[in-house]
Amino acid sequence: MTLLNCLLSAWYGLPFVSPHNLLVSTINFTGATIESIYVLVYIVFAPKKMRKKMLILLSMVLTVFSTVALVSLFALHGNGRKLFCGFAATIFSICMYASPLSIMRVVITTKSVEFMPFFLSLFTFLCGTFWFIYGLLGHDPFVAVPNGFGCGLGTLQLILYAIYRNHNKSGGANSITDNKPVEMDFEMDFQKPGQVNNNSAEAPSQQNGQA
């Protein structure tokens, strides 16, 4: 979703789509390049099943971007082109910012910020805030609206982090105790077929000695 957002925002910022928005285009093109590297690394090292899933998602992203680019390039002109690309970029920007909502629900349910890194929440807030201000100063609703949404969600994440940040420390002993059965099961499941547990092997010999 982040890759698609960067591609659409970079396209929206091009001079023949949205004049005087070259900064939007250059920054999002850089973001798209970084995201492409992330995706390629994941595809190279991921298991076969996950690699196939990622390739399908990547194909969908490229299809959506190509459709928006071709329609805006050959079917639309002037203000119509700007509106079409702006709405597309706005929709997927909001979707990108909304993706951590499921993690926020987990934080509220478990009262733990284990799955919501602080710096990710902080930079989501900062990124949304700065772009929101940029959109307001430039009178560009297609930049201000989605990033205002991101600023709000980033604020909520930081509030949740402030509320539940000490919960992990107080529940650390319990979490370690709870994880022990899982670790034992994991070790038993991965025991080699011909391997015999030392304790179970010693028990019969001790019984024979007593007899």
Q: What is the CATH number of the domain that holds 158?
A: 1.20.1280
What φ, ψ does residue 47 adopt, rounded to 5°? -60, 160
Assess whether 143 and 90 both reside in one domain: no
Backbone angles phi and psi of 145, in degrees to 5: -65, -55
Q: What's the confidence (pLDDT) of residue 113?
A: 84
pTM of the model: 0.72
- 198 domain residue, yes or no: no
Q: 9 in a domain, yes or no?
A: yes
Strand, helix or coil for residue 200: helix
> What are the average pLDDT values for consecutive 10-residue runs of the chain, which has 211 residues?
90 90 91 92 90 92 93 89 92 87 86 84 90 91 92 91 76 43 40 46 47 45
Q: Which of 42, 71, 96 is the last residue of a domain?
A: 96
How far apart, in Å, are the Cα atoms of 123 and each of 21, 92, 128, 150? 22, 19, 8, 10
Do residues 3 and 92 share a domain? yes
**Do 135 and 72 fall into the same domain?**
no
The pLDDT value given to residue 201: 45
Do 84 and 3 fall into the same domain? Answer: yes
pLDDT at residue number 120: 84
Closest-CA residue to 148 (of 129, 121, 122, 134): 129
Residue 83: which domain range? 1-96
What pLDDT does residue 178 have?
A: 45
Q: Does 152 fall in a domain?
A: yes
pLDDT value of residue 19: 86
pLDDT of residue 169: 58
Contact 144, 196 (CB under 8 A): no
Domain count for the chain: 2
Cα 174 from Cα 197, distance rounded (Å): 28
Q: Are 153 and 66 contained in the same domain?
A: no
- The answer as to whether 127 is a domain residue is yes
Q: Do the domain assignments include residue 210?
A: no
pLDDT of residue 168: 59
